[in-house]
Amino acid sequence: MTLEQQLSVLVKAAVKALYNVDADDSQIQLQKTRPEFEGNITLVVFPFVKLARKAPAQVAAEIGEELAKSDLVAKYNAVQGFLNLVIDDAFWVKQLESIDAEANYGRQPDRNKLMMVEYSSPNTNKPLHLGHVRNNLLGYSIAKIQEANGWKVVKTNIVNDRGIHICKSMLAWLKFGNGETPETSGKKGDHLIGDYYVRFDKEYKAQIAKLIAKGMDEETAKREAPLMLEAQEMLRKWEANDPEVRALWAKMNSWVYAGFDETYQRLGVSFDKIYYESNTYLEGKSEVEKGLASGAFYRREDGSVWADLTKDGLDEKLLLRSDGTSVYMTQDIGTAKLRFQDYPIDKMVYVVGNEQEYHFKVLSILLDRLGFPFGKELVHFSYGMVELPNGKMKSREGTVVDADDLMDKMVDDAKEISKDKVNTLQGITEAEANEIARKVGLGALKYFILKVDPRKNMLFNPAESIDFNGNTGPFIQYTYARIQSVLRKSYSEAILQQSDPTAERSYSEAVLAPKELALIQRLCEYPAIVRNAGDNFSPAVICNYAYDLACDFNSFYHDLSILNEKDEAKRALRLLLAKNVAKVLNSAMSLLGIEMPERM
């Protein structure tokens, strides 16, 4: 039983013995003792005041006296209607031993329910950028956290591989590419295609300028520019299954997918199922046609199909253009239908930026209107935008920072900053040093982004993120590596002394120093932290806990000796404590998708 559960039993017994009243669970209110008072946990006694017909301070003192008769409560102090309880050291030692014995400590019981988490959602006309980095890191971490909370999780991605923007890249490659490929250019496929998307925009703007110079207004020029007309014609041919257009589309997309896979692997994120809008948009169109037939939607004179959402406090939403081509909303309807056909989903979570909040409100209403029971149960995990400080880093195009450039910089910075530290490690190879730099650089990137409340916009500062001091990933990684060093030395010394470093020990008689006690209490909080992070879809909760735990350990390590402690029982207890701090740090950081180096 947890501390709260054990105390609840004792409080009920005390109230029965003192006042002959059967207390219920709702009356037992336990909270963490405020730092200015001695105690580990506080009982709020006001719910029992009327029952006892005595002053709050007297009731607190009487219940405290009764609880102190147990082995669990060492002493107490009553402050008005609050009873502060000091829990016996033996309880905390047993908690530590229990944590040590539990391989998956912190994981919650299986729910036998399935959650699908969608994240990434790239376009095949450009490489992944800084915004995608936050999206992918949040989505992957949320999936890991929900798995730790007992959900079966399917991680999914919807690739936007069709539409006018894709045709723009295709058309630019046909006109200006001269047969260039990733192999001939030496570029990743996603970067190569991104370059042609930029080239289209450049040529398109030049055509608009020429038309305006000839007296055409800007809006008309945008519509009538030859490149745009050609791109629209290419889209119509694509939807008509024109073999040449489809073959070009398949070839160029294959280049992009290879590039995406490389970026995903490096970022450390993965998917269980990938959907492609080219396969889902027809399902969406079919559902829109059904909605049109049932009267859920209506057709305008130009042939376009719309949904009237004014009764829902929204406006009208386009579902099919006048030429019959679909829009994002249509595709999302089809994708949702296919997903719920493929999986018995209990909760569907979309990890998409806050600029799409309106979109998902509409999607939920439309799915419900089409008769899908899951329509109202969709969760839009909305997050804020992420930017870099001006001048800190520029992308190859000068406007958007792509994910590959960002990861390159982070790893290079880690190599530079940790160069002196790595050189002090005996026998380390260059490959090992590079691997440490990779883990530290990417750990810095992931932690800095995930520690911020996901609903807020944030500024990502590469230099600040990789600092080995403060609330950063490298600080926590260094704490973990420090513990591993202590444990390795302990194991080596035990072998030299011909003693068994894995022998079972009893710590029941241990008297805990304040910083040992604080560290054990922090470890005991971990399961509740995991539940909190899951309930609130917040990796930041895990980040803050990992940082606090690392700070507590470093304070403990500064004040109390481990390997040089002469008392063998104390030494063994501190090693057990260090071992489990490392275990929980590793567990917490794994929920963030962060790897922990054994040496730094």
CB 30 within 8 A of CB 42: yes
Q: Which pLDDT does position 91 carry in this prediction?
A: 94
pLDDT digit string, tens, across residues 288-313: 999 999 999 999 999 999 999 999 99
Tokens of 375: 């329509």
Mean pLDDT of 105-115: 96
Q: Does residue 401 register a pLDDT over 90?
A: no
Q: Which pLDDT does position 511 carry in this prediction?
A: 85
Q: How many separate helices (H) and strands (E) can be counted in the chain?
A: 23, 14
Please name the helix (run of DSSP H) or strand (run of DSSP E) that holds residue 220, with its range, or none.
Answer: helix 218-224
Q: Does residue 355 register a pLDDT over 80?
A: yes
CB 93 within 8 A of CB 508: yes
Q: Does residue 500 register a pLDDT over 60?
A: no
Q: Residue 259: pLDDT band by 50, 70, 90 thresholds?
A: very high
Q: Which pLDDT does position 393 carry in this prediction?
A: 46
Quickly list DSSP for 466-533: T-SSSSSHHHHHHHHHHHHHHHHHHHHHHHHTT--TT-----TT----HHHHHHHHHHHTHHHHHHHH
Q: CA angle 120-153-382, nearest 5°?
A: 45
Q: Does residue 502 register a pLDDT over 70?
A: no
DSSP code of residue 116: E
pLDDT digit string, tens, across residues 304-354: 999 999 999 999 999 999 988 888 899 999 999 999 999 999 999 999 999
Q: How many Cβ atoms are within 10 Å of 469's Cβ, its own excluded?
A: 8
Mean pLDDT of 452-471: 88
Q: Does residue 505 register a pLDDT over 70?
A: no
Cα end-to-end span (Å), the chain:
38
Phi, psi (degrees; rounded to nearest 5) at 26? -65, -20
Q: Residue 51: pLDDT band by 50, 70, 90 thresholds?
A: confident
Pairwise CA distance, residues 580 & 522, whole Å: 11
Phi, psi (degrees; rounded to nearest 5) at 496? -60, -35
Q: Residue 499: pLDDT band by 50, 70, 90 thresholds?
A: low
Q: Does residue 514 register a pLDDT over 70?
A: yes
Q: Which sign does the torsion angle of CA 281, 287, 290, 292 carry?
A: negative
Which of 36, 116, 141 has the alpha carbon at shortest distance from 542? 141
Q: Which pLDDT does position 568 carry in this prediction?
A: 87
pTM confidence score: 0.90
Q: Residue 89: pLDDT band by 50, 70, 90 thresholds?
A: very high
Q: Which residues pair with 426 in a beta bridge?
A: none
Token pair 């992420």 is found at 386
Q: Which pLDDT does position 395 carry in this prediction?
A: 45
CB 502 within 8 A of CB 491: no
Q: Which pLDDT does position 468 carry in this prediction?
A: 85
Q: CA angle 586-592-595, nearest 5°?
A: 50
pLDDT digit string, tens, across residues 422-452: 545 667 888 999 999 999 999 999 999 999 9
Pairwise CA distance, residues 191 & 65, whole Å: 72
Which of 29, 272, 14 has the alpha carbon at shortest distance from 147? 272
Q: Which residues pair with 381 in a beta bridge?
A: 351
Q: Which pLDDT does position 274 carry in this prediction?
A: 97
State how beta strands 316-320 and 305-308 pair.
antiparallel
Compute the 3-state secondary structure of the chain and give helix, strand, coil in percent, each to the nearest 5. Answer: 60, 10, 30
Tokens of 192: 């190569």
Q: Which pLDDT does position 392 carry in this prediction?
A: 47
Which of 334, 348, 323, 290 has the alpha carbon at shortest distance from 307? 290
Segment among 141-155, 530-544, 562-576 with least mean pLDDT: 562-576
Q: Residue 394: pLDDT band by 50, 70, 90 thresholds?
A: very low
Strands of 80-172, DSSP E: 82-87, 114-118, 152-159
Q: Which pLDDT does position 377 carry in this prediction?
A: 81
Q: Does residue 165 register a pLDDT over 80?
A: yes
Q: Across all residues in the chain, what is the average pLDDT?
A: 92
Q: Which pLDDT does position 399 carry in this prediction?
A: 60
Q: Does residue 189 register a pLDDT over 70?
A: yes
Q: Which pLDDT does position 453 carry in this prediction?
A: 92
Give all domains of the chain, ordered by start, each with its CATH number.
3-87 (3.30.1360.70), 114-387 (3.40.50.620), 403-590 (1.10.730.10)
Phi-psi region of 246 (alpha: psi -120 to 50; beta: other; left: phi over 0): alpha
CB 153 within 8 A of CB 107: no
Q: Which residues pair with 276 in a beta bridge?
A: 159
Percent above pLDDT 90 for the chain: 80
Mean pLDDT of 206-221: 96
What residues contact 534, with CB distance under 8 A and at least 6 apart? 108, 145, 146, 148, 149, 151
Mean pLDDT of 77-102: 94
Burial class (CB in 10 A: 0-12, 13-18, 19+), 314: middle
CB 541 within 8 A of CB 142: no
